[in-house]
Amino acid sequence: MFTAATNSDNWITAKRLRAHATILAVCLWSLYVWNLTTPGLRDRGGNLKGTDFLHFYTLGALAAEHRGGDLYDTSAQAALAVERVPQVAGLRYLPLYPPQVSLLFAPLAHLPYAWALAVWWICSAAIYALCILVVWRACPKLRTHGLTVVLLALGFPAFFHLIAWGQTSALALACFTGAFFLLRQKREFLAGLVFGCLIFKPQLGLAAAIVFLSLGAWNLIAGAIVSAVAELFVGVLYYGIAPLRQWVITMQHVRALLPWLEPKPYQTHCLRTFWSMLVPSGEVAFGLYVISAIAVLSMTISIWRRQTKVPLALRYSSLLLATVLIAPHLTVYDLVILAPAFLLTADWLMAEPHSPTHTLGTLLYLVYVLPLLGPFARWTHVQLSVIAMAACVYVLWRISGHSFVSGATAVSAEKECG
């Protein structure tokens, strides 16, 4: 999704990216299809097809039966899962989603598990494709690289994991995509309404909340509060206040639950787990996480404060990278929210071929591909993708501090400032 060579990244060509993306997409998806071609609901590795989708399917069944009292009862959910899908005996999930999420999956709970999973796969893929399409159409320099964008979108490891895990991150991608276009139109309150919808995955709204609070974007903050409260209130209307109260209590103790939430920390890609894998002492690792998160947020806020010089495309890309980096918990499938950042930054790079990019294109390439090497962190204890993302934020910060404002950047900034 980054398709042009720059003066410092001249090895990145559209032809080479198409070749890499094709190889990656063919390998990932052919192996996955082969892995799924087994009778029953277990794949060739013995894992449940759709993995995490069972949790959402069970939540939907609880909603269909109006069992709000069991939304945070792990044993009750495990028993219901076996009742609905007998092949899943022994699987347990940590319930951390707010009550209203179960209502989204209630219609799917009326279908057999395999059919419900297929419907969810189609919905997730359609949302992902639509988000890629609308962002690509907003990138004039990428218009002639449609095939390259399609191949890179198909080969994006985060999208592969989104489907393989049956997760909900496509909804978060839709929120970030919609918010970008509303910000571009200077509809801050409406953008806030969209950001507030991220309450279903609150860790993904943390960076945006801090950045926009620091900027004094009160219309946006007000919109986010309104939609977040409204979304939570939907669950209250359906179940009453007790499940929401239980969710709040659970979130207050979430740090103690992280070992159960992250049984495979090498599949996570954020600063907190980067330090926890690298540093044996939990307290020291957490302190380093806080320090590095502050550094990332400081650079991101600095980029946003220079809005008269820095186009929204780069500012929003830095926000998406910061969202991933500072999230207290972020699994590989959540990296799908970076898709707009690839497109927007690539479009800017093509419009500014002589700007001091400091190998930004190469760093984007690494952010795209390094999640594939995540499992190696079991032995190296170094999550390389996190280093690449932090370097991207740093380079964007350096770019934002340069005094140059050439043609395309100046025009873009003028349009944003009205």
Q: pLDDT, tens digit, for every residue of 353-395?
A: 666 565 899 999 999 999 999 999 999 999 999 999 999 999 9
User: In angstroms, what CA-CA distances link 340 with 73, 124, 232?
Assistant: 37, 16, 27
Tell me if the pTM is above 0.95: no
Mean pLDDT across 123-139: 97
In this predicted structure, what is the pLDDT of residue 313? 95
Q: Per-residue confidence at 167, pLDDT binned at 50, 70, 90?
A: very high
Alpha-helical regions (H) of 37-106: 53-64, 74-84, 100-105
Distance CA 319, CA 317 (A): 5
User: In angstroms, what CA-CA distances link 316 with 159, 255, 285, 290, 322?
Assistant: 20, 29, 28, 22, 10
Q: Per-residue confidence at 411, pLDDT binned at 50, 70, 90?
A: very low
- The answer, yes or no, to whether residue 407 has pLDDT greater than 80, is no
- The answer, yes or no, to whether residue 406 has pLDDT greater than 50, is no
Please count the other Cβ atoms lying within 10 Å of the Cβ belonging to residue 418. Answer: 5
Q: Quick check: helix, strand or coil at residue 300? A: helix
Query: Across the chain, what does the average pLDDT equal?
Result: 91
- The domains of the chain are located at 14-417
How long, in residues, is the chain?
418
For the record, the structure tokens of 329 come out as 């918990």
- The answer, yes or no, to whether residue 404 has pLDDT greater than 50, is no
Contact of 167 with 180, CB cutoff 8 Å: no
In this predicted structure, what is the pLDDT of residue 260? 79
Mean pLDDT across 202-211: 97
| pLDDT tens per residue across span 58-71 | 999 999 999 999 99
In this predicted structure, what is the pLDDT of residue 412? 46
In this predicted structure, what is the pLDDT of residue 358? 59
Q: Per-residue confidence at 350, pLDDT binned at 50, 70, 90?
A: confident
- The answer, yes or no, to whether residue 54 has pLDDT greater than 90, is yes
Q: List the single range of 35-44, 80-89, 222-231, 252-261 with lowest mean pLDDT.
A: 252-261
| pLDDT tens per residue across span 261-319 | 888 899 999 999 999 999 999 899 999 999 999 999 999 999 999 988 899 999 999 99
| β-sheet bridge partners, residue 331 | 268
**More reliable by pLDDT, 160 or 14:** 160
User: In angstroms, what CA-CA distances link 2 with 16, 148, 165, 391?
Assistant: 11, 9, 26, 17
- The answer, yes or no, to whether residue 161 has pLDDT greater than 90, is yes
For the record, the structure tokens of 25 come out as 């997409």
- The answer, yes or no, to whether residue 248 has pLDDT greater than 60, is yes
Q: Per-residue confidence at 409, pLDDT binned at 50, 70, 90?
A: very low
